[in-house]
Amino acid sequence: MEIEKYKIEEHNQAASAAHKRAFDYISGEVKNAQAIIDKLAAFQVAIPSWALGTGGTRFGRFPGGGEPRSLEEKIEDIGLLHKLNQSSGAISLHIPWDIPKNASHIKALAAQHGIRFDAMNSNTFQDQPDQQHSYKFGSLQHVKKEVRQQAIDHNIEVINYGRELGSDSLTVWLSDGSCFPGQLNFRQAFQHTLSGLQEIYAALPSDWKMFVEYKAFEPNFYSTTVGDWGQSLLYASKLGPKAYTLVDLGHHHPNVNIEQIVSLLLMEGKLGGFHFNDSKYGDDDLTVGAIKPYQLFLIFNELVEGMDARGMDHATGLGWMIDASHNVKDPLEDLLQSVEAIMISYAQALMVDRKKLQEAQESNDVAAAQEVLQQAFRTDVRALVAEARLRAGGALNPLGVYRAEKVREHLIKERGLKTVATGL
């Protein structure tokens, strides 16, 4: 399924009068509109290969049809998203779900769609059919050396696949932990995990980064061996300068102040990457910005402030990825909505009057500080985001074009109704 460029232009033409009115208004209201548009155009969010099919819960899965059946079809789907929004020019792969059989062919296909390879993800939270040792009681933390070795070898294999494709980072998320008190010796689990990570770290190419992702709970419900940002930072600090913490928005206990975590990790130079999603209760993996858009804005506010303080390039300084699951929505529609929510929050964070905010902070003017932040958050910046997309050759209304062009119907016709993508 391809959407022809002229089709996007036709849709843009039909929407252009309304867009122009909205854009003229907002560019008159916002001081640095041009600079914001340039930054938005440069900002790309990686799409995870496992989020292109319908997810599920432990109670069931309800596939929607037309899901990608191969790595090639996953890249084609992301190509479609990128063509519409010009902001999804990267893919994050998961091994063994996405083992490239012919790396140069896969690389060429991705390049054809303007897509690069973002962080590679290893998987030691499931047993594969041909696997010798089980991860039932953990992987890098395991009490048995041979299980730990198998997990180390797998991660090194993932690095090697990534090298072939031109990726430059590895994300390690471990489901290791325990379900009951007494099951684990915490210190031993930590030490085993650290020495495993050290061996993987030693296999990283010199220009690679390693992201240590933490998660509070699930699938283990008593302890998690990389359970919070403190533990992740401890590993990353012990590992060395190529190791960083990765923040997944859904991997915290309820009401944790994630923006403060982001701020401090950036201060320490140890924030490496981001997994965007949204949640009401736990790791719900809902559409970004669907439940707590103000939190997303506050996080971006700290990201922009903290990255600027360190002179980091917003587009390339951190790994930006979505990590979501789609149970009741068309996955591609969900991803379009998620990228849009990210761009809106980023644009709003770029609008924050930093000087006024700092003055309010220095004079303990709490009400003024809130006004500064909410002035940005309550501004409708959608026309700025759409303008950035338009200038980059994308659609003014990506979801609208997706629906008008009946993309899902075409994909079902091409691939069938009963396809199931590999992934979660």
Is omega for the bond preceding 219 within 30 degrees of 0, making it cis? Answer: yes
Contact letters (x/-) for Mn ion, 232-271, by CB under 5 A?
----------------x-----------------------
Token output for 117: 């390879």
Nearer CB in complex with Mn ion: 50/346: 50
CA angle centred on 41, ends 36 and 44, rounded to 5°: 120
Nearer CB in complex with Mn ion: 197/357: 197
Least separation in angstroms between CB 96 and Mn ion: 18
* Interacting residue with Mn ion among 98, 323, 330, 334 (CB under 5 A): 323
Distances (CA, A) of 161 to 119, 158, 279: 11, 5, 32
The Cα–Cα gap between 16 and 274 comes to 34
Nearer CB in complex with Mn ion: 133/292: 292
Looking at 143-151, 253-261, 319-327, 353-361, which segment touches Mn ion (CB under 5 A)?
319-327
Least separation in angstroms between CB 173 and Mn ion: 6
How do 120-121 and 116-117 pair as beta strands?
Answer: unpaired
- Which residues contact residue 364 at a Cβ distance below 8 angstroms, ignoring those fewer than 6 apart? none
**If binding means CB under 5 A, how many residues of this protein chain bind Mn ion?**
3
Least separation in angstroms between CB 323 and Mn ion: 4
Nearer CB in complex with Mn ion: 248/278: 248
Residue type at 92?
S
**Distance linking the first and last C-alpha atoms of the chain:** 24
Rg (CA), the chain: 22
Looking at 87-95, 111-119, 146-154, 315-323, which segment touches Mn ion (CB under 5 A)?
315-323
CA 79, 84, 89, 90 dihedral sign is negative
Residue type at 110?
A
76 lies in the binding site for Mn ion (CB under 5 A): no
- Which residues contact residue 104 at a Cβ distance below 8 angstroms, ignoring those fewer than 6 apart? none
Token output for 369: 């500080």
Nearer CB in complex with Mn ion: 213/330: 213
Nearer CB in complex with Mn ion: 107/275: 275
Pair 181, 222: CB distance under 8 Å:
yes
Nearer CB in complex with Mn ion: 56/400: 56
* Interacting residue with Mn ion among 94, 142, 252, 275 (CB under 5 A): 275
Least separation in angstroms between CB 375 and Mn ion: 32
Q: Residues interacting with Mn ion, by CB under 5 A?
A: 248, 275, 323
